[in-house]
Amino acid sequence: MKKIIIEPKNPLDVKPEDVQELAEEIRSFYPNYKVVIEGKGYSGYAVTWWEVVNIWVIAPISGLLIEQIVKLSIKWARQRFTKEGKEKRPKSITIYGPKGDILKSIVLKNVTDEPDVTTPSKEEKRYRLKPPFENEPFFRTLWRGLFKPRRPKN
Position 152 in a domain: no
Q: How many domains does the chain have?
A: 1
Res 143: pLDDT: 55
Average of per-residue pLDDT across 19-26? 92
The answer to whether position 132 is within a domain reads yes
In terms of average pLDDT, the best of 33-37, 69-73, 122-126 is: 69-73
Host domain of residue 84: 3-146
Q: Mean pLDDT over residues 101-124, rounded? A: 85
From its phi and psi, is residue 146 left (phi > 0), alpha (psi between -120 and 50) or beta?
alpha
Q: Does residue 122 belong to any structural domain of this protein?
A: yes
Sheet containing 91-96, strands listed edge to edge, beginning at the edge strand earlier in sequence: 34-37, 3-8, 51-58, 91-96, 102-108, 116-118
Give the pLDDT confidence score for residue 108 in this predicted structure: 92
Task: Supply the CATH number for residue 55's domain.
Answer: 3.30.429
Residue 135 has pLDDT above 50, yes or no: no
Residue 108 maps to a domain: yes
Residue 150 binned pLDDT confidence (cut-offs 50, 70, 90)? low
